[in-house]
Amino acid sequence: MDNKIVLVGAGSTSFGPKTIGDLFISDNLAGSTITLHDINKEKLEMVYEICIKENEIREGKFNIERTTNRTEAFKDANFIISSIEVGKRFPLWRQDYEIPRKYGSTQILGECGGPGGTFHAFRILPPVIEIAREAEKICPEAFFINFSNPMARVCLAIKRAAPKLKFTGLCHQIGFFNVHIPRMLDLKLKNLKMTVVGLNHFGFLLGLEEFNSGKDLMPQFHSKAMKYFKKHEDRFMFSTLTFEVYKRLGYFPHAGDNHLGEYLQFGEEFTEKQDMIDWLDRTDEFGNTIYQKVLKGYNRLKKGRYPKRGILFRNLSGERAVPIIEEILTDKKKIESSVNIPNDGLVENLPQDLVIEGPAIVDKEGIHGIKMGNLPKSIAALLRIEATIQDLCVEAVLKESKELAIASLAIDPNVGSFEMADNIFSELYQLQKEYLPQFK
């Protein structure tokens, strides 16, 4: 196929190697041009040279090019996969976590929710908005796929800043359900139709059917879930907080304790502080391990000792970007169980100017969300609180408004005070101002 696929943030080792590996596995996309784009010239060159070598191993399956010029990268693009980050991710994340708690915030992680998630958004939204607007202008027919966190806020900013751009946001968190539920019910994943709806990292299992017969499997799930997940309890995933929310609301949250707790004032009550610190440390270590593997491969390449089979995985990563591109091009009308898309009537009792996470159908025109009607009132009530915070957060960046920025912090359940919001804003702004909007 003669398509141009642009990887923005190609120097990132968080998603770059996975996406590139998935592309090289794809036979449907053979013959396409893969354009690597990053503003970090050194990392871009390293990834480019590795890709050239991997392409040689596969007898020139793709046309590989690289550029630091975004206008050049986007020209004639059919698909754009963006996975950018701003600054040194983990030192900044530690600031996002520690400083709000210093002033009394109950946040437990600070990546996508809570005041830490808000500052993460403040940093990353300006360049994402710039990228999206440029894509809308240069290649208006291209399909844009976002991997950057905080996912829901990034996607909402794209929706508002580039309203004509076709886009989705993808998160692999649903993959944990894809592993556990088939095991629990002793069924294959392909025979299950799961309906998980909400916001990114804040969704709930609302329906479960046998794919071919349409048999309702929710009664079976409810009869087995608590016993199964307690047996497979994981302090980072399905543990005390998940069980409490499931018991109280009657709907199982899919994201795991560490992510779910970011949005809940009572998250701290059911999680251990050290577990969250350990998760951050483990995530940092995992990212460094991947980087070291890529760097080792690059050093071997420069010495003429690159592995004959290459260094990319030979199996699909589980990320959905490349499969979705294939589904668009082949027009197979496949169902994707979890994508981030504009609400626009999909969930009636949530704000319409919102990006939700839920199931969708993919065809040659792109991604079309499946209507869910009204969510259970208890679930919708929780989601609307976070939706309000996301609304103010995105508007604060678009308008460079300090007033809105502090308001988005103050109304967060993990803050709940203008005095605390002022203190958090002042210290984090001084530490991170080189990456932040010029709030006025």
Domain ranges of the chain: 4-170
> What pLDDT, on the 0 to 100 scale, is given for residue 17?
81
Pairing of strands 355-363, 366-369: antiparallel
Strands annotated E in 214-365 = 252-253, 334-342, 355-363
CB 142 within 8 A of CB 78: yes
> What pLDDT, on the 0 to 100 scale, is given for residue 15?
66
Given 120, 172, 222, 254, which residue is catalytic?
172
pTM for the complete prediction?
0.96
Cis peptide before 359 (omega within 30 of 0): no
Position 118 confidence tier, pLDDT thresholds 50, 70, 90: very high
172 flagged as catalytic: yes
> What pLDDT, on the 0 to 100 scale, is given for residue 11?
86
- Supply the mean pLDDT for the chain: 95
The percent of residues above 70 in pLDDT, for the chain, comes to 99
Pairing of strands 4-8, 33-37: parallel
Residue 44: C-alpha distances to residues 48, 58, 140, 423 (Å): 6, 21, 25, 38
User: Which tens digits make up the pLDDT trace of 122-159?
Assistant: 999 999 999 999 999 999 999 999 999 999 999 999 99
User: In this structure, which amino acid lies at residue 274?
Assistant: Q
Residue 34: C-alpha distances to residues 17, 45, 272, 355 (Å): 13, 14, 44, 29
Segment 229-247 shows an average pLDDT of 96
- Alpha helices for 143-199 (secondary structure H): 151-161, 174-185
Segment 182-199 shows an average pLDDT of 94
Segment 297-310 shows an average pLDDT of 94
* pLDDT at residue 250 greater than cutoff 90: yes
Q: Which fold has domain 4-170?
A: Rossmann fold (3.40.50)
* pLDDT at residue 1 greater than cutoff 70: no
